[in-house]
């Protein structure tokens, strides 16, 4: 075992990369749940986004078009969920699980011709001056653009939820849809838009895995990241900055355990592999014991009556 082979700067830098997919998926799901909808199909939307983004990036040679396609793909798949739960009033838990299974199958079908193909690489965003700062430079300012896009989406979501009228209406719908309806707000329309936003974010998160983090296509390559994103939202008490913290914690432990594996530490690999999941959930559970803060209408279907 040789712990000195672990470079702390490289470790912290790769933490931000490892955290980005679940950060994107979780922030989308946070918006969906604040609107009162529980979409368990995050994993399915992520994997669909992963293959949509991969295929378009390979065909066009442009990673940017790939990411756009991933967002569109995730949003279109989420529309299926919206159709089932908001119009047909199907059970949200069952519909979400079905969406995950459907997404996994659909992506495997779409991805048949892409196994072993290499996607066009996304250029690093070398921010001049800032990236030259010793230590902080490589950790914070030497990443691909999507890392910053994800942080931007997070900050924008936080600001919109907290300060804008749109965010207030969205929270009101999630809190008490009967009352929101009585005040004349379009509950179903707002929820469908929130679900599509969640789908687009999950799609981006999936494409980040297939285009940047791995980068190649294999079936089921999101490997449970969607489920972690879901858990993150709950244990972060539906607060955006706590989601960021949870995502970085998860990313950090993931990178650390990979480094420890490489350093040949005398703990069975299986324990190391499960550690990010366990540590993240334990920490978040402890943090959220005091007050849950769940949207009061979460998971309840709304039907306007008389």
Contact residues for other proteins (CB under 8 A)? Answer: 165, 168-169, 171-172, 175-176, 178-180, 182-185, 291-293, 295-296, 306
What do you get for the CA distance between the two ends of the chain, in Å? 70
Select 143 or 171, whichever has its Cβ closest to other proteins: 171
Closest contact distance (angstroms) between CB of 217 and other proteins is 42
Cβ proximity of 49 and 219 under 8 Å: no
Closer CB to other proteins, 127 or 160, in the complex: 160
Residue with smaller CB distance to other proteins, 118 or 290 = 290
Min dist CB 189 to other proteins, Å, is: 13
> What DSSP string runs through 2-35?
-GGG--HHHHHHHHHHHHHHHHHHHHHHHHHHHT
Per-residue burial over 23-49, b if 16 or more Cβ lie within 10 Å, else e, is bbbbbbbbbbbbbbbbbbbbbbbbbbb
The CB-of-148 to other proteins minimum distance in angstroms stands at 30
If the CB atoms of residues 127 and 169 are measured against other proteins, the closer one turns out to be 169
Give whichever of 226 and 295 is closer to other proteins, judged by the CB atom. 295
Q: Dihedral of CA 211/213/216/222: which sign?
A: negative
- Closest separation in Å from C-beta 306 to other proteins: 6
- CA 6 to CA 16: how far, in whole Å? 17
Please, what is the minimum distance in Å from the beta carbon of residue 183 to other proteins? 5
For 71, 102, 142, 240, the CA distances from 234, given in Å and listed in that order, are 23, 24, 31, 11
Q: Are 277 and 228 in contact (CB under 8 A)?
A: yes
């Amino acid at each position: 075992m040789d712990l000195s082979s672990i470079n702390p700067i490289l470790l912290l830098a790769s933490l931000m990369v490892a955290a980005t997919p679940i950060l994107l998926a979780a922030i989308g799901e946070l918006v969906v749940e604040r609107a009162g909808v529980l979409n368990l199909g995050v994993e399915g939307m992520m994997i669909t986004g992963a293959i949509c983004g991969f295929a378009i990036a390979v065909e066009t040679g442009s990673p940017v078009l790939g990411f756009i396609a991933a967002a569109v793909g995730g949003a279109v798949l989420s529309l299926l969920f919206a159709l089932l739960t908001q119009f047909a009033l199907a059970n949200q838990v069952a519909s979400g699980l079905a969406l995950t299974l459907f997404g996994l199958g659909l992506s495997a079908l779409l991805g048949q011709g892409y196994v072993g193909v290499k996607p066009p690489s996304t250029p690093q965003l070398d921010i001049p001056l800032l990236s030259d700062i010793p230590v902080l430079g490589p950790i914070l300012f030497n990443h691909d653009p999507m890392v910053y896009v994800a942080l931007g989406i997070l900050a924008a979501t936080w600001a919109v939820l907290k300060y804008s009228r749109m965010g207030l209406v969205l929270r009101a719908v999630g809190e008490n849809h009967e009352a929101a309806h009585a005040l004349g707000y379009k509950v179903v329309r707002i929820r469908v838009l929130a679900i599509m936003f969640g789908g687009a974010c999950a799609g981006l998160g999936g494409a980040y895995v297939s285009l940047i983090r791995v980068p190649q296509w294999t079936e089921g390559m999101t490997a449970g990241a969607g489920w972690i994103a879901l858990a993150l939202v709950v244990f972060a008490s539906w607060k955006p900055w706590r989601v960021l913290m949870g995502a970085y914690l998860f990313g950090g432990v993931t990178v650390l355990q990979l480094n420890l594996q490489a350093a040949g530490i005398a703990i069975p690999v299986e324990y190391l592999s499960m550690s990010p999941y366990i540590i993240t959930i334990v920490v978040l559970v402890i943090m959220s014991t005091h007050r849950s803060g769940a949207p009061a209408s979460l998971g309840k279907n709304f039907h306007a009556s008389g």
